[in-house]
Structure 1
Amino acid sequence: MRIYLLIVSCLVAFVVARAPPPFVEPLMDYHETVGIPLATRIKEAEDAIMMGADNVVNDVRIVGGAVAPVNAHPYLAGLLITFVNSPGTSACGSSLISANRLVTAGHCWYHSLQASQFVVVLGSQYLFYGGTRIATSTVFVHPQYSPSALVNDIAVIYLPTNVYFSPSIRPVSLPSSNQLWDSFTGAWAVAAGYGKTNDQQVGVSVSSIVSHVNLQVITVQQCQAVFGSWATSGNICTNGAGGVGICGGDSGGPLVINRNGQNILVGISSFVANAGCELGYPSAFTRVTSFYNFITQHM
């Protein structure tokens, strides 16, 4: 009997050890649940900073990351978003890829709420103050974008005028032709954005400035083990071990790899686990190489 129980116990332990991770759904209804509340908090934080308030919470924005040095990510642009027939302002990130083009997530333009205008904020650590600010309503979302499944989650933003390059405003490179088939698995990348810093953040933060974090790229299969069919070959995912990654409000922002001193855009922040940002789940980005033709058609 003891031998039998030992065998059964070993089998149970083996099954538990081999059991797949629990399925996790991405965060949905971005603008209502994340973007609009986040923009409100950032505005309050920046107003307090500009007025010299001394009671602002000291925090950073990307989970597990740090405040980015000035001009560390001159290609990162903030988006202030207004909507068709709906009040409120939402927030996203984007990446400058030429003097008059940027890329962002499709769900920043439409995800239960339809955007009417982006105000693109370049060359500033803040969303509501400083920098170069250009309004545009010319946004091309991928024709097969699905807001319910978050597939083909990419859009190209057209600016009505060219921006002047400077140390704080400069485009990021797209992958070269010989990198289009690179999975980048195992590579270290940097994500930057304006998102909230933790799952409990409700107050204002002194670092309503840009934050960034180093993340390691994992395989699509590792991502699918957590997100199931939500993760596809059109995604590039990063390891969340240690509670690091993107969080609500980082949507549309860049995932960049440095190769031989050149910053290369490999991902666009797409989704995180609905369960929370700090639980060690992967972060999912739109894979730029999968949409290279779509992007270059709009250059």
Structure 2
Amino acid sequence: MKVFVVLVLALASASAGLLPKSAPVHPRDRTPSISGRITNGKDAVAEQFPYQVGLSFSSSAGSWWCGGSVIGNTWVVTAAHCTDGASAVTIYFGATIRTSPKFTETVSSKDFIQHESYSSTLIRNDISLIKTPSVTFSSAVNKIALPAVASSYSTYAGETAVASGWGLTSDTATAVASHLQYTDLTVITNAVCQQTFGSLLVTGRNICVATPQGTSTCQGDSGGPLALNEKLIGITSFGSASGCQAGYPAAFTRVTYYLDWIKINSGISY
């Protein structure tokens, strides 16, 4: 979905502060491969991230891989750009090795609740819910808590959060890395993030992190979790088209902005 040239042309008369200095791209879109992991991440141990799921989406146009988070016995949350255009998804529960989950469930798009105001052009409202058959929780498969509504007023800036997933190991990676990866990332202010992506893309709906030493989310991590103190604060949304290791910020959908939307659509309270 190379929508960013269109975005720049459409907004060419806008002030420079609105426009991205580095073109953004969803981690889903960087390469056609679904293999890999977080760049420069660490191997997760079994049951370290019981809320992490892998999502294998399919459509008439092809297939792609994303991440997601279990937030209830019958609900997974992911990014809207992951569900967009899909006809079905196979959910991999309890996997540390990507191809060896504890179990899988396949559901059709009728069980997707994609945000009704999702905009692929502005990368806005990048959040979806997936209704699943009821899952019995265990040490390997469990939910992650949502943040408290009071956290809506926190920027989280300076806090260290953890991202996990099966995205690419590097910008040049081609080989499959089957092990779930994670990395600690420092949250930055939206003002700093806007210096790269502009204020049209980075709003109060987002959280951004710094990506020093080439450590970042990458292709295949889309929709996956950013967690702080065992609570889900972000959903992997977009990074720089210059590459995962280019040192530009990575942006996430801010979960506190969507607490009411999640409650209305799933019944899950924060």
Are 1:99 and 2:73 counterparts? yes
SS of residue in 2 equivalent to 1:248: coil
Q: CA deviation at 1:143?
A: 0.8
CA distance in 1, matches of 2:141, 2:97: 14
* Mapping for residues 149-164 of structure 1, pairs under 5 Å: 149-159=122-132, 161-164=133-136
* Mapping for residues 131-280 of structure 1, pairs under 5 Å: 131-137=102-108, 138-159=111-132, 161-205=133-177, 208-228=178-198, 229-258=200-229, 263-280=230-247
CA distance in 1, matches of 2:129, 2:91: 12
Change in Cα spacing, 1:69 to 1:29, as seen in structure 2 (3 Å) is closer
Letter in 2 for 1:119: T
SS of residue in 2 equivalent to 1:272: strand
Change in Cα spacing, 1:28 to 1:193, as seen in structure 2 (3 Å) is closer
CA distance in 2, matches of 1:127, 1:148: 31
Q: CA deviation at 1:26?
A: 1.1
Counterpart in the other structure of 1:77 = 53
CA distance in 1, matches of 2:125, 2:155: 17
Q: CA deviation at 1:29?
A: 9.1
CA distance in 1, matches of 2:246, 2:174: 18
Letter in 2 for 1:216: T
CA distance in 1, matches of 2:152, 2:190: 16
Letter in 2 for 1:101: W
**Any idea what the Cα deviations from partners look like across 1:103-132, whole Å, max 9, x if unmatched?**
10000011xxx1000111111113333322
Displaced runs of 4 or more, over 4 A: none
Count of paired positions: 247
Letter in 2 for 1:148: T
Counterpart in the other structure of 1:4 = none
SS of residue in 1 equivalent to 2:81: helix
Larger Rg: 1
SS of residue in 2 equivalent to 1:226: helix
The alignment-based identity, stated in percent, is 35
Q: CA deviation at 1:100?
A: 0.5
Letter in 2 for 1:146: S
CA distance in 1, matches of 2:168, 2:221: 8
**Any idea what the Cα deviations from partners look like across 1:150-174, whole Å, max 9, x if unmatched?**
1110001101x21111111010000
RMSD after superposition: 2.0
Counterpart in the other structure of 2:87 = 116
Change in Cα spacing, 1:214 to 1:232, as seen in structure 2 (3 Å) is same
SS of residue in 2 equivalent to 1:180: helix
Of 90-99 and 195-204, the range deviating more from structure 2:
195-204
CA contact (8 A) 2:27 2:239 kept: no
CA contact (8 A) 1:92 1:253 kept: yes
Q: CA deviation at 1:227?
A: 0.8
CA distance in 2, matches of 1:28, 1:172: 24
TM-score by length of 1: 0.78
Q: CA deviation at 1:28?
A: 5.2
**Which structure would you say has the larger RCO, counting Cα contacts within 8 Å and 6 or more residues apart?**
2
